[in-house]
Amino acid sequence: DNKFPPKILWEASAGSDQKDDLLRIAPVESGDRLIVADAKGDVFAYNLKSGKRLWEAELDMPISVGGGANDSIVVFGSDTGKVVALAVDSGKKLWQATVSTAVEAAPSVGDTHVAVRSKDGSITLLNSKDGSTVWSVSHNEPDMTLQGQSRALLFPDAIAVGYDDGELAILSRADGRQLWKNQVALPMGRTEIDRMVDIDATPLFADAVFYVATYQGRIAAINAKGGQTIWSRKFSGFTDMSIDQNALYATDASGIVWALDRRTGEPLWRQSALAYRGVTGPALSNGKLVVGDKEGYLHVLDPQTGAIVGRLRVSGGLIDPMRTENNVVAAVTRDGDLIVFDLP
């Protein structure tokens, strides 16, 4: 039923295509700008409303995830462990830093610091003005993990990290020491593949609660004050989640979209019509839930019921995560197009 078909506001180039399934280079917003890069490190900035190209820049380094931004800088991490900051208004290179190994999660950019995750499990806090290292702490990750990692979350006094071993940890922003941890899922099974419990969906934070999903493990709500589990249920997922007043929305590893009661974790509905279509994590915009798939469809769901109420086909599969900002949805396709949608 196509009662609420999404409308394309504008399309533009996001550089070279992202045919490689391991690439997850999502756009990032900064004020009224949308900034996107390709795997070769070419960066493009567009006006969010009009689609007008504002600048382009070259990072001269290969990347596999999108950037992070504040009002003045956008920061990208590379497959070689380089981290580069560009000025949001001009694309001018401001500084470059180096971390231990490849960057597989978008950097988290605050006003004064940038938190960067590396493939080997370490977290490095950089000064956002000049890229100098404030501190770096290591974490032992399993040998076999999913490609990509979840973003660290920056708070005034702390940093939240979901690790590839199924652990959520809260670190002191001052020096990186661990304040508390919660083992959301335990590795189970006989083979390394069976034992993968990566937290690849970026944890959500709302009303002093963290919401965390693991691969082949659990989805859980955790009290931010001391790390106690509020509720937890069996789940496997690796795409970003969304939240509103009542529900937590998540796509599981087989492409089924779920709404869970935020307070109890009980399922409110599940939508299985899109199973095995490479579905993105659900994004909320204009009171609707949207997911993309690898066939190149954008689907609109009713958050109350999970019913599919609109859809639109674009070329090339849609890459996770999609961004929702100012009631528009921004997505990058595998063909290398940046598309901005409006939801009725």
Identify whether 226 is part of a domain.
yes
Strands 93-98 and 82-87: antiparallel
In angstroms, the CA 94 to CA 109 distance is 14
At 246 the pLDDT is 95
Which CATH number is 68's domain given? 2.130.10.10
Query: Coil, helix or strand for 7?
Result: strand
From 58, 64, 60, 61, select the one nearest 26 (Cα to Cα). Answer: 64
* pLDDT tens per residue across span 52-95: 999 999 999 988 888 999 999 999 999 899 999 999 999 999 99
Confidence grade of residue 22 (pLDDT, cut at 50, 70, 90): low
Please say whether the beta carbons of 40 and 75 come within 8 A.
no
* pLDDT tens per residue across span 186-226: 888 888 888 888 888 999 999 999 999 999 999 999 999 99
pTM of the entire structure?
A: 0.94
Identify whether 149 is part of a domain.
yes
Task: Identify the domain containing residue 211 by its residue range.
Answer: 7-342
Identify whether 312 is part of a domain.
yes
At 25 the pLDDT is 85
From 213, 127, 226, 212, select the one nearest 170 (Cα to Cα). Answer: 226
Please say whether the beta carbons of 290 and 300 come within 8 A.
yes
Transcribe 77-92 into DSSP letters.
Answer: E-TTSEEEEEETTT--
Identify whether 310 is part of a domain.
yes
Identify whether 2 is part of a domain.
no
Identify whether 1 is part of a domain.
no
Identify whether 95 is part of a domain.
yes
At 204 the pLDDT is 97
At 21 the pLDDT is 63
Please say whether the beta carbons of 328 and 341 come within 8 A.
yes
pLDDT at residue 342 is higher than 80: yes
**Number of domains forming the structure of the chain:** 1
- Rg of the chain over Cα atoms, rounded to whole angstroms, equals 19
At 190 the pLDDT is 84
Mean pLDDT rounded to a whole number for the chain: 92
* pLDDT tens per residue across span 276-311: 999 999 999 989 999 999 999 999 999 999 999 999
Identify whether 43 is part of a domain.
yes
* pLDDT tens per residue across span 220-254: 999 999 999 999 999 999 999 999 999 999 999 99
